[in-house]
């Protein structure tokens, strides 16, 4: 299959892009599109064929459900039922935006979308290209991240091309994703609501509306509990080389990484760091993904860096860590997974 990529910042290509995306979606095909979190691989929620196509293109395990994407004005009643008032309040306050709500599934939604669960994940993305694509097609679009299963989520159209070339007919290029980490998932079918995945919307902000918000115990570092979001149990976001993260203050981390680098001499060594520390490391691949005082910038570039360590064929990788507050909670969740829990 030939994969066409349209640059959506070019008005002519954008017009063709929206038109062709709508045609493909209505016919039960798949389209990759940008959102403010990561790129999604979409298919019409109502088409079993489209939903099957997503799982096949990604090589995704069939027990890992998708997120249904909607745009302003779309009727939620054929998607979710018995929507609690708190969920409506979260929608009013944070949609469009990086918040996915788990709601009771309407019977119209095929079981393949929810992987047989009685609940369904719903989100309204704020990226203008995603919004317009949903609006023009007029369809709710089920989508996971547009990466091959097990690879870091794509945050540029180039990442999508790397993974999906020849597997899907169309990629809408909307530039690099602003947030760069996936949405925050909150389960609204339980009381009090429970966070199943930290993400682009900080927990501190969510607590302004839901003060009694809980965290899924399955997200804990040491816990032997299976996470409630099926996707969180898989080994995700991992570069090919073993990766270890350094704990402590920035200067303690630096010292630990310098020692580890000295011990790993002779190997191709990678370091994930900030611009302020680039010069302090003697290694083959030192990637600065932002500034020490800008965790948003680091979050936006994390997945790209993981992909670059693979390209550079590093043998070992050491990463600095950031405080678990604001976007830092989601950042550290993804980094911990990439490191498989390995710390120094
Ligand atoms: P992705 O967009 O690739 O991050 O995949 C969607 C995420 O949403 C995965 O982690 C899924 O396990 C999660 N998810 C989707 N639907 C549900 C649901 N009904 N209950 C719990 N988690 C869900
Ligand atoms: Mg994913």
Q: Which helix (H) or strand (E) element contains residue 316?
A: strand 316-319
User: What is the domain-level CATH number for residue 293?
Assistant: 3.40.50.11030
**Residue closest by Cα to atom 2 of ligand 1:** 144
**Residue closest by Cα to atom 21 of ligand 1:** 229
200 & 253 share domain? no
Assess contact for 163 and 108: CB atoms under 8 A. no
In a domain, 228, yes or no: no
Ligand 1 lined by 114 (C-beta under 6 Å): yes
What pTM did the predictor assign?
A: 0.96
Local confidence pLDDT in tens for the 344 residues of the chain:
999 999 999 999 999 999 999 999 999 999 999 999 999 999 999 999 999 999 999 999 889 999 999 999 999 999 999 999 999 999 999 999 999 999 999 999 999 999 999 999 999 999 999 999 999 999 999 999 999 998 899 999 999 999 999 999 999 999 999 999 999 999 999 999 999 999 999 999 999 999 999 999 888 765 577 888 887 776 667 788 999 999 999 999 999 999 999 999 999 999 999 999 999 999 999 999 999 899 999 999 999 999 999 999 999 999 999 999 999 999 999 999 999 889 99
Pairing of strands 170-173, 141-143: unpaired
CA atoms within 13 A on the CB side of 268: 10
Atom of ligand 1 nearest to the CA of 143: 2
**What are 54's two structure tokens?**
């997503």
User: What is the domain-level CATH number for residue 170?
Assistant: 3.90.870.10
**What are 73's two structure tokens?**
């004005």
Using CA atoms, how far apart are residues 106 and 176, in angstroms rounded to an integer? 34
Ligand 1 lined by 186 (C-beta under 6 Å): no
In a domain, 160, yes or no: yes
170 & 310 share domain? no
**Residue closest by Cα to atom 7 of ligand 1:** 231
How far is the first Cα of the chain from the last one, in angstroms, to the nearest whole number?
Answer: 45
Question: How many domains does the structure of the chain reveal?
Answer: 2
210 & 127 share domain? yes
The Å distance, Cα 39 to ligand 2 centre, comes to 9
Residue 85 structural domain: 4-215
197 & 297 share domain? no
Ligand 1 lined by 229 (C-beta under 6 Å): yes
141 & 208 share domain? yes
């Amino acid at each position: 299959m030939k994969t066409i990529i349209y640059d959506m910042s070019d008005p002519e290509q954008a017009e063709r892009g929206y038109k062709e995306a709508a045609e493909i979606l209505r016919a039960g095909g798949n389209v990759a599109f940008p959102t403010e979190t990561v790129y999604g691989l979409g298919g019409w929620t109502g088409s079993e064929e489209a939903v099957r196509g997503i799982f096949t293109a990604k090589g995704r395990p069939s027990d890992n459900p998708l997120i249904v994407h909607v745009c302003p004005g779309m009727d939620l009643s054929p998607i979710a039922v018995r929507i609690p008032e708190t969920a409506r309040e979260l929608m009013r306050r944070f949609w469009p935006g990086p918040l996915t709500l788990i709601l009771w599934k309407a019977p119209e939604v095929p079981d393949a979308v929810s992987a047989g669960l009685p609940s369904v994940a719903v989100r309204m993305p704020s990226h203008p290209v995603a919004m317009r694509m949903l609006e023009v097609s007029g369809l709710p679009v089920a989508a996971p991240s547009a990466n091959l299963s097990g690879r870091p989520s794509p945050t540029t159209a180039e990442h999508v091309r790397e993974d999906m070339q020849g597997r899907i007919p169309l990629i809408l290029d909307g530039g690099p994703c602003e947030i760069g980490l996936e949405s925050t998932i909150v389960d609204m079918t339980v009381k009090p609501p429970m966070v199943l995945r930290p993400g682009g919307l900080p927990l501190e902000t969510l607590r302004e509306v839901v003060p009694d918000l809980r965290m899924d115990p399955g997200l804990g570092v040491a816990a032997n509990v299976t996470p409630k979001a099926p996707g969180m149990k898989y080994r995700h976001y991992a570069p090919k080389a073993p990766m270890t993260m350094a704990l402590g203050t920035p200067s303690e981390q630096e010292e630990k990484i310098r020692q580890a680098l000295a011990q790993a001499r002779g190997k191709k060594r990678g370091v994930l760091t900030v611009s302020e520390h680039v010069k302090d490391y003697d290694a083959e691949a030192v990637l600065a993904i932002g500034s020490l005082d800008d965790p948003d910038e680091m979050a936006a570039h994390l997945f790209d860096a993981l992909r670059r360590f693979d390209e550079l064929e590093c043998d070992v990788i050491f990463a600095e860590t950031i405080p678990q507050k604001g976007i830092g909670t989601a950042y550290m969740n993804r980094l911990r997974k990439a490191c498989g829990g390995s710390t120094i």
